[in-house]
Structure 1
Amino acid sequence: MVRSLIEKLPEAAQAYLAHGKLDEVECVISDLAGVARGKAMPGSKFAKQSHFYLPNSVFLQTITGDWTNIPGMAYTEPDMVLTPDLSTATAAPWTADWTLQVIHDVNDQEGTPVPTAPRNVLKRVVALFEEKGLSPIVAPEMEFYLVAPNTDPAKAVEPPMGRSGRRAAARQAYSLSAVDEYGPVIDDIYDFAEAQGFEIDGIMQEGGAGQIELNMRHGDPVRLADEIFFFKRLIREAALRHNCYATFMAKPIQDEPGSAMHIHHSVVETATGRNIFTDETGQDSVAFRHFIGGLQRHVPSIIALIAPYVNSYRRYVPDFAAPINLEWGHDNRTTGLRVPVSGIASRRVENRLAGMDCNPYLAIAGSLACGWLGMKEALDPAPEFEGDAYNSNEGIPRTFGEALPLFAEATEVHEVLGEEFCRIYSAVKETEYSEFLQVISPWEREHLLLNV
């Protein structure tokens, strides 16, 4: 049974198991936060079963582990049916035994995709393009920090100790020497990625102390979201091997730049592969302009997806390597929507607003939904911005409390992402925000306790 299973796996997984016996399989799905949920089982048992069950309450859990109460919903916690998508099977090369991870499809007991499962939300959006004979293409960029171990939440996060015996320095963007300071972690990231069959387009030092950017190849949105989902765990495991943490918080260190997940978008004709963002003369097409128009119109409504926590909004600081606007421009990194230098076949727009703390399935789904609505509604963008866009009107919510009502009221976006998902997501995030508002911060104690 195990041998017949292995023959169905991707090439990288087969190559990994060529050196050992399959001991364990981790059956995983993403919850709303992007946390891996599921169960592990012996490889021999996994080979014999076609599915397993988890309660639908998985998608009602907040990042703190609490549960959301939704008026009118009966809390009977019916089981969902989880079926392995063997095309996602990949190694877990940091484990002591021979372990695979497999992402599962999530359906109800009648076989209908569960609308609150983040992967299903992204599949729903991609299907809208496919119905028109189109294929959306994305290329994500991942930014993250390596930081010193931090076991006390009251203690500020610090950069990691490098091989020189000094802590990682800030303002060293693109420095190869800075990357070499934590070279062993980078080496393990490369090794783990190779074992898992993932292609890294490049790794570089970013502007923060211990901040790294990892670029990925372009491709199918669901496959790339799967890889980011896996990459987060891969990177955390590589860091732990070398006495440091990897964090994907949007703003983990005060006075340092935040971490983004920039999303490059293009759309091609499925039958021909032609990039519809380029017209017959080789210039920006009408569809391209409408896609940008949709991002400008609707991104404020989905900020709660791409900046999903109170900490996310600490990243939106003027002149701090993060856009705070909805302007667009060619080769202009001060705009929220940047058109990179590219050839005719690779013309694309980069959404620079998403934070790395997002759920990759939901952030990509939300961004694609905005572009889709722009093409559907033939929305023209504002004039291209020339110069420093930090001087423009901001145009985006600056707090989580502002973002949540915009998402809750975005009926056009709800039609694309799914009404049930949007209702549940809003309720979960409102619960998280309410919990946060009960916390008294060190700043409040320092400046208010004896002075007001």
Structure 2
Amino acid sequence: MDRQQEHVLRVVEERGIRFLRLWFTDVQGSLKSVGVAPAELENAFTEGIGFDGSAIEGFARVVEADTLAMPDASTFQVLPWPNGAEAGIARMFCDITLPDGTPSSADPRQVLRRALAATEDEGYTLYTHPEIEFFLFEPQLDEWGRPVPIDDAGYFDHLAHGDGHDFRRAAIDMLETMGIAVEFSHHEGAPGQNEIDLRYADALTTADNIMTFRTVVKEVALSQGCFASFMPKPMQEHAGSGMHTHFSLFDGDHNAFHEPGAEYQLSITGRRFVAGVLRHAREISAVTNQWVNSYKRLWGGGEAPAHVCWGHNNRSAMVRIPMYKPTKGQSSRIEVRTLDSACNPYLAFALVLAAGMRGITEEYELPPEAEDDVWALTDRERRILGIEPLPSSLTEALHVMEESELVAETLGEHVFDQLLRNKREEWRAYRGQVTQYELQNYLRRL
């Protein structure tokens, strides 16, 4: 037993922890939890907690159902939401293994671990910084079955004692109590829409933090009489919610994306990373934007990126190079704007990283910068500039992903096949729906 595990056992005893929740995700990024009594924790560290993997979406076939959840002691935290600390409830993330100790090929956390290990073999460490958007709605839908935002505020609006303001303060207090540092928070552009930005951390820690973040936000919302949604596009007339994520590679203490005197201070390594993300953008869309509803966000305007291009101060671009701070060379980074806040962060980060690293190792050439508002260009103008569209639907994204060697290699055969199967079923179910649009436009006319 290592020192971190011994420390957790000591804290559990000293703080009177009575319930331990072991967390992990399925291939879609849904949070799963199994409870363990403190008396069983030492055994859980050494032997894991067994469960039926065939009951978890995409984990295992019935004939190979035995699976173990191995707690990661470095992720131990007491849960602070209502009555959590008082009731003595804590959580840890788990790595999923087979009974012989082999990492499970179906575990999204292991997928990211593999991608990070391959990157470390090249001498780099990946750091990420997500800007997470979400909506707060009233508990009840309106008479037409539509969600009702808790306020009518807009971008950066400050409402004295407003619901969103109070909510963000409570959510941030809870996150920071759990050791998750927050950098910024504000009201976003749509009614009821908020954004909370997490501070830079290594990619695996960030992915764990995002899963915790989504749980915290939903818990705080329930405690305040509303509900939170990370649905990419819940309201037709307003912009959707994304998770613009900043990426940077470090070689030891050196930011590999920084080069003084280069254009935008972006190094050749950074330029090749961006080129890789762009070249493989269509292939990874079914993971970074995995829901039917995701493509209504991407193609619904509101500064959402729908085309494969990059820019410096261009918020219509898929990849943006943020403003460089002359006194902070370590802050050089790229911002990928496609990701949904409802994506599986383990798989999404693994694929963005794999695409960027492919650009570095194969020395991809960065295409010309998109200087215009890409949305304002005609299709012909975009074609002349060599700007491709992202997939416009989940089914199109799946067709592209199916042919991708990079995605199959990064996710592994099991996760790759399970995602394709699961998402094709989602598309078939969606395709059979009769929508309100069809009823309004065709029912009486035809």
Q: Is this a same-fold pair by TM over 0.5?
A: yes
Deviations 1:284-328 (A, max 9, x none): 222111111111110100100011111111112364121111211
Asked whether the 8 Å contact 2:308–2:390 carries over to 1, the reply is yes
Residue 152 of structure 2: aligned partner: 169
Take 2:21 and 2:28, find their aligned partners in 1: how far apart are those partners? 19
1:277 equivalent to 2:257? Answer yes
Residue 349 of structure 2: aligned partner: 364
Residue 385 of structure 1: aligned partner: 370
Take 1:120 and 1:354, find their aligned partners in 2: how far apart are those partners? 20
1:336 equivalent to 2:318? Answer yes
Q: SS state of the match for residue 298, structure 2?
A: coil
- The root-mean-square deviation of aligned C-alpha atoms, in Å, is 2.5
1:401 equivalent to 2:401? Answer no
Residue 373 of structure 1: aligned partner: 358
- 1:226-241 equivalences in 2 (<5 Å): 226-241=208-223
Residue 422 of structure 1: aligned partner: 416
- Normalising by structure 2, we get a TM-score of 0.89
Take 2:117 and 2:142, find their aligned partners in 1: how far apart are those partners? 45
- Could you list the runs of 5+ residues in structure 2 that have no partner in the other structure? none
Deviations 1:24-68 (A, max 9, x none): 01111111222111311333333453310122325535xxxxxx9
Distance 1:300 1:182, change over 3 A: same
Give the counterpart letter for 2:439 in structure 1.
R
**Among 200, 221, 225, which residue is 2:182 paired with?**
200
Residue 404 of structure 2: aligned partner: 410
Residue 137 of structure 2: aligned partner: 147
Q: SS state of the match for residue 128, structure 1?
A: helix
Residue 98 of structure 1: aligned partner: 88
Asked whether the 8 Å contact 2:350–2:410 carries over to 1, the reply is no
1:38 equivalent to 2:25? Answer no
Take 1:311 and 1:207, find their aligned partners in 2: how far apart are those partners? 19
- Alpha-carbon deviation of 1:134? 0.9
Take 2:298 and 2:4, find their aligned partners in 1: how far apart are those partners? 47
Q: SS state of the match for residue 188, structure 1?
A: helix
Residue 9 of structure 1: aligned partner: 8
Count of residue pairs brought into register by the alignment: 426
Q: What percent of counterpart residues are identical?
A: 29
Take 1:451 and 1:301, find their aligned partners in 2: how far apart are those partners? 40
Asked whether the 8 Å contact 1:249–1:311 carries over to 2, the reply is yes
Take 2:207 and 2:161, find their aligned partners in 1: how far apart are those partners? 26
Asked whether the 8 Å contact 1:169–1:178 carries over to 2, the reply is no
Take 2:169 and 2:351, find their aligned partners in 1: how far apart are those partners? 33
Take 1:196 and 1:223, find their aligned partners in 2: how far apart are those partners? 13
Asked whether the 8 Å contact 2:164–2:187 carries over to 1, the reply is no
- Could you list the runs of 5+ residues in structure 1 that have no partner in the other structure? 62-67, 161-167
Residue 78 of structure 1: aligned partner: 65
- Normalising by structure 1, we get a TM-score of 0.88
Residue 235 of structure 2: aligned partner: 253
Residue 49 of structure 2: aligned partner: 52
Give the counterpart letter for 2:250 in structure 1.
V
Residue 353 of structure 1: aligned partner: 338
Take 1:47 and 1:445, find their aligned partners in 2: how far apart are those partners? 59
Residue 439 of structure 1: aligned partner: 433
Give the counterpart letter for 2:152 in structure 1.
A
Residue 115 of structure 1: aligned partner: 105
Take 1:32 and 1:277, find their aligned partners in 2: how far apart are those partners? 31
Residue 222 of structure 1: aligned partner: 204
Take 1:327 and 1:383, find their aligned partners in 2: how far apart are those partners? 8
Asked whether the 8 Å contact 1:335–1:389 carries over to 2, the reply is yes
Distance 1:351 1:5, change over 3 A: closer
Give the counterpart letter for 2:364 in structure 1.
L
Distance 1:372 1:295, change over 3 A: same
